[in-house]
Amino acid sequence: MRLDLISIFPDYFSPLQLSLVGKAITAGLVDLNVHDLRQWTHDRHHTTDDTPYGGGAGMVMKPEPWGEAFDAMEEQSALPLTVVVPTPAGRPFDQALAYELAERQRLVFACGRYEGIDQRVIDHCSEKYELIEVSLGDYVLNGGEVAVLAIVEAVVRLLPGVIGNPASLDEESHAPGHRLLEYPNYTKPPVWRDRAVPEILLSGNHAAIANWRRERALERTRERRPDLVDDDIGNGFGA
Ligand SMILES: N#Cc1c(-c2ccc3ccn(Cc4ccc(CN5CCCCC5)cc4)c3c2)n[nH]c1N
Protein backbone atom coordinates (compact mmCIF):
# COMPACT_ATOMS: atom_id res chain seq x y z
CA MET A 1 0.00 0.00 0.00
CA ARG A 2 1.16 3.48 -0.91
CA LEU A 3 0.37 6.27 1.53
CA ASP A 4 0.68 9.99 0.72
CA LEU A 5 0.27 12.45 3.60
CA ILE A 6 -0.10 16.13 2.64
CA SER A 7 0.15 18.75 5.43
CA ILE A 8 1.65 22.13 6.34
CA PHE A 9 3.14 20.32 9.36
CA PRO A 10 4.88 17.28 7.79
CA ASP A 11 6.99 16.72 10.92
CA TYR A 12 3.77 15.65 12.68
CA PHE A 13 4.19 12.28 10.94
CA SER A 14 7.68 11.41 12.22
CA PRO A 15 6.16 8.95 14.75
CA LEU A 16 5.01 6.77 11.85
CA GLN A 17 8.64 5.71 11.37
CA LEU A 18 8.46 3.98 14.77
CA SER A 19 7.08 0.63 15.96
CA LEU A 20 4.67 -1.41 13.85
CA VAL A 21 4.14 1.11 11.07
CA GLY A 22 7.88 1.75 10.90
CA LYS A 23 8.50 -1.99 10.59
CA ALA A 24 5.88 -2.26 7.83
CA ILE A 25 7.67 0.53 5.94
CA THR A 26 11.05 -1.16 6.40
CA ALA A 27 9.55 -4.47 5.24
CA GLY A 28 8.23 -2.78 2.11
CA LEU A 29 4.60 -3.48 3.03
CA VAL A 30 3.91 0.27 3.13
CA ASP A 31 5.34 2.99 0.90
CA LEU A 32 4.99 6.15 3.01
CA ASN A 33 5.36 9.57 1.33
CA VAL A 34 5.01 12.75 3.36
CA HIS A 35 4.54 16.06 1.53
CA ASP A 36 4.69 19.68 2.73
CA LEU A 37 1.76 21.51 1.11
CA ARG A 38 3.85 24.67 1.03
CA GLN A 39 5.95 23.22 -1.82
CA TRP A 40 2.93 24.00 -4.02
CA THR A 41 2.80 27.70 -3.06
CA HIS A 42 4.61 30.36 -5.10
CA ASP A 43 4.61 33.51 -2.99
CA ARG A 44 7.39 34.66 -0.71
CA HIS A 45 5.45 33.73 2.42
CA HIS A 46 4.25 30.33 1.12
CA THR A 47 0.67 31.35 1.86
CA THR A 48 -1.84 28.50 2.23
CA ASP A 49 -4.80 30.30 3.81
CA ASP A 50 -7.03 33.33 3.37
CA THR A 51 -10.13 34.95 4.88
CA PRO A 52 -13.49 33.16 4.42
CA TYR A 53 -16.00 34.49 1.84
CA GLY A 54 -19.18 35.42 3.67
CA GLY A 55 -17.21 36.48 6.74
CA GLY A 56 -16.82 34.52 9.96
CA ALA A 57 -14.00 33.66 12.30
CA GLY A 58 -10.73 32.05 11.27
CA MET A 59 -9.10 31.39 7.92
CA VAL A 60 -9.75 28.88 5.13
CA MET A 61 -7.12 26.89 3.20
CA LYS A 62 -6.71 28.23 -0.34
CA PRO A 63 -7.63 25.84 -3.19
CA GLU A 64 -4.65 26.52 -5.47
CA PRO A 65 -1.92 24.72 -3.48
CA TRP A 66 -4.21 21.71 -2.98
CA GLY A 67 -5.02 21.57 -6.68
CA GLU A 68 -1.33 21.50 -7.56
CA ALA A 69 -0.69 18.94 -4.82
CA PHE A 70 -3.25 16.51 -6.25
CA ASP A 71 -1.89 17.09 -9.76
CA ALA A 72 1.48 16.02 -8.38
CA MET A 73 -0.06 12.97 -6.67
CA GLU A 74 -1.31 11.82 -10.07
CA GLU A 75 2.10 12.43 -11.69
CA GLN A 76 3.95 10.49 -8.97
CA SER A 77 2.04 7.21 -9.29
CA ALA A 78 -0.50 5.59 -11.56
CA LEU A 79 -2.01 3.64 -8.66
CA PRO A 80 -5.75 4.31 -8.26
CA LEU A 81 -6.06 6.57 -5.25
CA THR A 82 -8.56 7.15 -2.50
CA VAL A 83 -8.50 10.58 -0.87
CA VAL A 84 -9.10 10.67 2.89
CA VAL A 85 -9.97 14.07 4.34
CA PRO A 86 -10.17 14.32 8.14
CA THR A 87 -12.82 16.83 9.20
CA PRO A 88 -15.12 17.37 12.20
CA ALA A 89 -17.99 16.99 9.74
CA GLY A 90 -16.85 13.61 8.44
CA ARG A 91 -18.09 10.02 8.63
CA PRO A 92 -17.16 8.63 12.05
CA PHE A 93 -13.99 6.55 11.74
CA ASP A 94 -14.45 3.02 13.05
CA GLN A 95 -12.98 -0.46 12.60
CA ALA A 96 -15.28 -1.19 9.67
CA LEU A 97 -13.91 1.85 7.82
CA ALA A 98 -10.36 0.83 8.79
CA TYR A 99 -10.97 -2.52 7.05
CA GLU A 100 -12.43 -0.73 4.02
CA LEU A 101 -9.39 1.54 3.71
CA ALA A 102 -7.02 -1.41 4.18
CA GLU A 103 -8.36 -2.81 0.90
CA ARG A 104 -7.20 0.20 -1.13
CA GLN A 105 -3.95 0.29 -3.12
CA ARG A 106 -3.19 3.94 -2.32
CA LEU A 107 -4.49 6.41 0.25
CA VAL A 108 -3.85 10.15 -0.06
CA PHE A 109 -4.52 12.00 3.21
CA ALA A 110 -5.32 15.71 2.90
CA CYS A 111 -4.67 17.33 6.29
CA GLY A 112 -6.49 20.60 6.69
CA ARG A 113 -5.78 23.31 9.20
CA TYR A 114 -7.44 26.62 10.18
CA GLU A 115 -11.21 26.24 9.53
CA GLY A 116 -10.64 23.63 6.87
CA ILE A 117 -10.03 23.35 3.12
CA ASP A 118 -11.93 25.38 0.45
CA GLN A 119 -14.97 23.23 -0.45
CA ARG A 120 -14.14 23.42 -4.17
CA VAL A 121 -11.10 21.20 -3.53
CA ILE A 122 -13.35 18.52 -2.01
CA ASP A 123 -15.83 18.86 -4.88
CA HIS A 124 -13.06 18.73 -7.51
CA CYS A 125 -11.39 15.67 -5.97
CA SER A 126 -14.72 13.89 -5.45
CA GLU A 127 -15.29 14.04 -9.22
CA LYS A 128 -11.86 12.59 -10.00
CA TYR A 129 -11.21 10.12 -7.17
CA GLU A 130 -12.92 8.19 -4.43
CA LEU A 131 -12.99 10.70 -1.58
CA ILE A 132 -14.00 9.98 2.02
CA GLU A 133 -14.41 12.72 4.63
CA VAL A 134 -13.74 11.17 8.03
CA SER A 135 -14.09 12.32 11.64
CA LEU A 136 -12.01 10.79 14.42
CA GLY A 137 -14.73 11.51 16.97
CA ASP A 138 -17.05 14.07 18.50
CA TYR A 139 -14.41 16.45 19.82
CA VAL A 140 -12.49 19.31 18.20
CA LEU A 141 -8.89 19.10 17.03
CA ASN A 142 -6.84 21.91 15.45
CA GLY A 143 -6.15 20.04 12.24
CA GLY A 144 -6.22 16.70 10.50
CA GLU A 145 -2.73 15.40 11.40
CA VAL A 146 -3.64 13.66 14.68
CA ALA A 147 -6.53 11.94 12.93
CA VAL A 148 -4.20 10.76 10.14
CA LEU A 149 -1.77 9.27 12.68
CA ALA A 150 -4.64 7.28 14.21
CA ILE A 151 -6.17 6.22 10.89
CA VAL A 152 -2.81 5.16 9.41
CA GLU A 153 -2.01 3.04 12.47
CA ALA A 154 -5.48 1.44 12.48
CA VAL A 155 -5.27 0.65 8.74
CA VAL A 156 -1.64 -0.49 8.47
CA ARG A 157 -2.00 -3.04 11.29
CA LEU A 158 -4.70 -4.76 9.21
CA LEU A 159 -2.44 -5.28 6.19
CA PRO A 160 -1.26 -8.84 5.54
CA GLY A 161 2.16 -9.51 7.07
CA VAL A 162 2.11 -6.58 9.51
CA ILE A 163 0.71 -8.31 12.60
CA GLY A 164 2.60 -11.47 13.62
CA ASN A 165 -0.58 -13.41 14.48
CA PRO A 166 -3.40 -12.25 12.13
CA ALA A 167 -5.89 -14.47 14.01
CA SER A 168 -5.61 -12.05 16.96
CA LEU A 169 -7.25 -9.36 14.83
CA ASP A 170 -10.46 -11.40 14.84
CA GLU A 171 -10.70 -11.32 18.63
CA GLU A 172 -10.19 -7.62 19.15
CA SER A 173 -12.79 -5.14 20.26
CA HIS A 174 -14.69 -3.76 17.27
CA ALA A 175 -13.52 -6.51 14.89
CA PRO A 176 -16.32 -7.35 12.43
CA GLY A 177 -18.90 -9.50 14.19
CA HIS A 178 -17.01 -9.23 17.50
CA ARG A 179 -18.71 -6.51 19.46
CA LEU A 180 -17.41 -7.04 23.00
CA LEU A 181 -14.69 -4.95 24.62
CA GLU A 182 -11.49 -6.73 25.65
CA TYR A 183 -11.39 -8.68 28.90
CA PRO A 184 -8.83 -7.58 31.57
CA ASN A 185 -5.26 -8.83 31.06
CA TYR A 186 -2.68 -9.94 33.63
CA THR A 187 0.98 -11.04 33.57
CA LYS A 188 3.74 -11.85 36.07
CA PRO A 189 4.24 -11.37 38.98
CA PRO A 190 1.34 -13.43 40.42
CA VAL A 191 0.97 -10.86 43.24
CA TRP A 192 1.75 -7.16 42.86
CA ARG A 193 1.32 -4.70 45.76
CA ASP A 194 -0.97 -7.23 47.50
CA ARG A 195 -3.10 -7.63 44.35
CA ALA A 196 -3.28 -11.23 43.16
CA VAL A 197 -4.03 -12.41 39.64
CA PRO A 198 -7.54 -14.01 39.44
CA GLU A 199 -7.08 -17.66 40.44
CA ILE A 200 -8.94 -18.97 37.40
CA LEU A 201 -6.18 -17.67 35.11
CA LEU A 202 -3.61 -19.83 36.91
CA SER A 203 -5.83 -22.96 36.81
CA GLY A 204 -4.86 -24.26 33.39
CA ASN A 205 -8.56 -24.98 32.79
CA HIS A 206 -8.84 -23.43 29.32
CA ALA A 207 -12.61 -23.82 29.02
CA ALA A 208 -13.15 -22.13 32.39
CA ILE A 209 -10.65 -19.39 31.48
CA ALA A 210 -12.42 -18.74 28.18
CA ASN A 211 -15.76 -18.55 29.97
CA TRP A 212 -14.36 -16.21 32.65
CA ARG A 213 -12.91 -13.95 29.96
CA ARG A 214 -16.22 -13.84 28.07
CA GLU A 215 -18.06 -12.94 31.26
CA ARG A 216 -15.58 -10.15 32.10
CA ALA A 217 -15.79 -8.82 28.54
CA LEU A 218 -19.60 -8.80 28.61
CA GLU A 219 -19.62 -7.17 32.06
CA ARG A 220 -17.20 -4.47 30.87
CA THR A 221 -19.13 -3.91 27.64
CA ARG A 222 -22.49 -3.61 29.43
CA GLU A 223 -20.91 -1.12 31.84
CA ARG A 224 -18.96 1.04 29.37
CA ARG A 225 -20.55 0.47 25.95
CA PRO A 226 -24.18 -0.70 26.38
CA ASP A 227 -24.70 0.34 22.76
CA LEU A 228 -22.55 -2.63 21.67
CA VAL A 229 -24.50 -5.25 23.60
CA ASP A 230 -27.44 -6.77 21.70
CA ASP A 231 -29.88 -7.59 24.48
CA ASP A 232 -31.65 -10.15 22.28
CA ILE A 233 -28.47 -12.15 21.93
CA GLY A 234 -26.99 -10.87 25.18
CA ASN A 235 -23.49 -11.99 24.34
CA GLY A 236 -22.38 -8.98 22.29
CA PHE A 237 -21.55 -11.15 19.32
CA GLY A 238 -22.95 -10.05 15.98
CA ALA A 239 -25.25 -12.28 13.97
N1 LIG B 1 -10.85 14.08 11.86
C2 LIG B 1 -11.10 14.94 12.59
C3 LIG B 1 -11.40 15.97 13.53
C4 LIG B 1 -11.09 17.32 13.55
C5 LIG B 1 -10.43 18.17 12.53
C6 LIG B 1 -9.99 17.59 11.31
C7 LIG B 1 -9.44 18.40 10.35
C8 LIG B 1 -9.33 19.77 10.56
C9 LIG B 1 -8.88 20.87 9.79
C10 LIG B 1 -9.01 22.02 10.53
N11 LIG B 1 -9.54 21.68 11.73
C12 LIG B 1 -9.82 22.63 12.82
C13 LIG B 1 -11.28 22.86 12.89
C14 LIG B 1 -11.88 22.84 14.14
C15 LIG B 1 -13.27 23.08 14.23
C16 LIG B 1 -14.01 23.36 13.10
C17 LIG B 1 -15.49 23.64 13.22
N18 LIG B 1 -15.76 25.08 13.19
C19 LIG B 1 -15.32 25.72 14.44
C20 LIG B 1 -15.67 27.18 14.48
C21 LIG B 1 -17.15 27.39 14.25
C22 LIG B 1 -17.56 26.75 12.95
C23 LIG B 1 -17.20 25.27 12.95
C24 LIG B 1 -13.39 23.39 11.87
C25 LIG B 1 -12.01 23.13 11.76
C26 LIG B 1 -9.74 20.33 11.78
C27 LIG B 1 -10.29 19.53 12.76
N28 LIG B 1 -11.59 17.85 14.70
N29 LIG B 1 -12.17 16.85 15.39
C30 LIG B 1 -12.08 15.69 14.72
N31 LIG B 1 -12.59 14.49 15.14
Q: Is 92 in the pocket of ligand 1 (CB under 6 A)?
A: no
> For 112-116, what is the mean pLDDT?
98
pLDDT at 231: 65
Domain 166-233: which CATH number of 1.10.1270.20, 1.20.120.420, 1.10.150.20, 3.20.20.370: 1.10.1270.20
- Residue range(s) in the chain whose domain bears CATH number 3.40.1280.10: 2-157
CB half-sphere exposure, 106, CA atoms < 13 A: 14
pLDDT at 239: 37
pLDDT at 166: 78
d(CA 90, CA 133): 5
Residue 112 labeled ligand binder: yes
Nearest protein Cα to ligand 1, atom 29: 140
> For 145-155, what is the mean pLDDT?
98
d(CA 230, CA 222): 10
State the CB neighbour count (10 A cutoff) for residue 227: 8
pLDDT at 170: 76
Band of pLDDT at residue 165, cut at 50, 70 and 90? confident
pLDDT greater at residue 27 or residue 169: 27
**Model-level pTM?**
0.93
Name the phi and psi angles at 231, rounded to 5. -60, -30
Indicate if the pLDDT at residue 192 is higher than 50. Answer: yes
Mutate to test the pocket of ligand 1, among 115, 119, 136 (most ligand atoms within 8 A of CB): 115
Q: What is the ipTM of this complex?
A: 0.97
CA of 215 to the centre of ligand 1 (A): 39
Indicate if the pLDDT at residue 172 is higher than 90. Answer: no
Indicate if the pLDDT at residue 235 is higher than 70. Answer: no
3-class DSSP state for residue 141? coil
Band of pLDDT at residue 238, cut at 50, 70 and 90? very low
Q: What is the pLDDT of residues 47-97, one digit of tens each?
A: 999 999 999 999 999 999 999 999 999 999 999 999 999 999 999 999 999
Q: What is the pLDDT of residues 198-230, one digit of tens each?
A: 999 999 999 999 999 999 999 999 999 999 987
- Residue range(s) in the chain whose domain bears CATH number 1.10.1270.20: 166-233
State the CB neighbour count (10 A cutoff) for residue 193: 5
- CATH superfamily for 2-157 is SPOUT methyltransferase, trefoil knot domain (3.40.1280.10)
Percent of the chain's residues with pLDDT above 90:
89
CA distances from 130 to 59, 93, 125 (A): 27, 16, 8
pLDDT at 2: 98
d(CA 24, CA 32): 10
Indicate if the pLDDT at residue 181 is higher than 90. Answer: yes
